[in-house]
Amino acid sequence: MKKNLFFGGIVCIIILVVIGVRLSERQSQVSQKSVATEQISVVTSFYPLFFFAKEIAQEMALVYNITPSGSEPHEYEPTPQDRASIEKSDLLILNGDGLEAWGDSITRNIDPNRMSIIVAGEGLATGTFVEEGKTIVDPHVWLSPVLAEQMVDKITQGFVQADPSNEIVYRSNAEVLKSKLVDLDNMYMQSLSTCKEKNIVTSHSAFGYLAQAYGLTQVPIAGLSPDAEPSAKEIGDIVTFAKENDVKYIFFESLISPKLAQTIAKEVGAQTLVLNPIEGLTDEEVVSGENYFSVMQNNLINLKTALRCNE
Ligand SMILES: [Zn+2]
C-alpha cells in the first residue's frame, strides 16, 4: 500500500511537471506574440515628419503629431497634452534648424537614455538668410525630394534605435518610401526642364531648397517664418521685380492669409495660385485624403502653369 502511494505520488509529480512545461511554453508563445504586435509610441513635430514616420512604421507604431491640422509649425506652441505625449513616447522626431521654436527647450529636459530623439533636418540645411540682423538657417528641407530622402534615412535610424527587433520591417518600408521620393524628384526634374520662366514669387521663404534643386529663383514676400512680414519698401521692390520680369502668377499658401499675395498680384496685374509649403494640412485637405505626395504633385502642376513649362 505504501509502495503504491509512493509510485502514485511520483506519477502525479511527473504529470504536473509535464503540464507545467506545456503551460509555460504556451505562455511564452503568447508573450512573444504580444511583443511582436506591440506598437511603439512616436511623436512628430509637424506634418511631413508625421507622414514619413507613418510610412516607415505602418502599423508598428502609434504616431502622434504635435502641430494640429490647420496650424503651421513656425508659430505653434505645444499644449500640456502635447508635452505629456512627448514624455510618454519612445521616439521623438523633430525637424530642427529652428523650425520648432519649442524644440530646444523640450529636448533639453529629456533624458536621452529614456527615449530616442531624431532631428531629421539637422545637417542637411545649407541655406542661410539674414533676418532682422541675425543669420538664420533655412529649415524647409522637406520640400526638396532629395533632402527628404536623407530625412527618411535619419527617421528610419530613429525607429531602429527605439525598436531594434523590427529593424527589417522599418528598413524595407523606408526603401519603398524613398523610391517614391526618387520618382517625385525625376518628375520635377523632367517637368521643370522646359520652362520659359524661372522666377517664383512665394508667400514666405519656404522654397529655397526646391528652387535650388530645379534651377528656379525664389522671390519671397515674407521671410523664413510667415510672420516675418515685409516692409512697404520690400513689397514695392517685389512689385517692381514682378513687373520687370513679366511674372504672371503670385503664389500663396493654404495655411496663411492670401491677402498680401492678392494685393501684390493686383498691383502687378498677375493672377494667384497655391504653392503649398506642406507645413501642415488643412482639415479639408485631411478629409479629402491629401498627403505629402499629392500636395507635391499639385505644387508641380501650379509651377508648370506659372513658369510656362508646357508651351
Ligand atoms: Zn516655413
pLDDT tens digits for range 216-274: 999 999 988 888 789 999 999 999 999 999 999 999 998 888 999 999 999 999 999 99
CA of 279 to the centre of ligand 1 (A): 7
CA of 90 to the centre of ligand 1 (A): 27
105 and 81, same structural domain? yes
CA of 268 to the centre of ligand 1 (A): 24
pLDDT of residue 310: 82
15 in any annotated domain: no
The residue out of 188, 215, 250 marking a domain boundary is 188
202 and 184, same structural domain? no
CA of 139 to the centre of ligand 1 (A): 7
265 in any annotated domain: yes
7 in any annotated domain: no
166 and 201, same structural domain? no
The residue out of 145, 160, 188 marking a domain boundary is 188
182 and 47, same structural domain? yes
CA of 12 to the centre of ligand 1 (A): 73
Radius of gyration, CA atoms only, the chain: 27
Listed residues: CB within 5 A of ion ligand 1: 206
291 in any annotated domain: yes
Q: Which domain holds residue 244?
A: 193-306
- Structural domains counted in the chain: 2
Q: Collapsing DSSP states into helix, strand and coil, what is residue 275?
A: coil
125 and 109, same structural domain? yes
Nine-digit cell string for 20: 507545467
For residue 25, is pLDDT > 60? no
Q: Say which CATH number the domain at 143 has.
A: 3.40.50.1980
Mean pLDDT on 93-105:
92
Angstrom CA distances, 266 to 76, 104, 186, 260, stand at 31, 41, 35, 10
84: Cβ contacts below 8 Å, ≥ 6 apart: none
For residue 67, is pLDDT > 80? yes
For residue 50, is pLDDT > 70? yes
The residue out of 139, 167, 188 marking a domain boundary is 188
Give me the count of residues in the chain.
311
CA of 226 to the centre of ligand 1 (A): 6
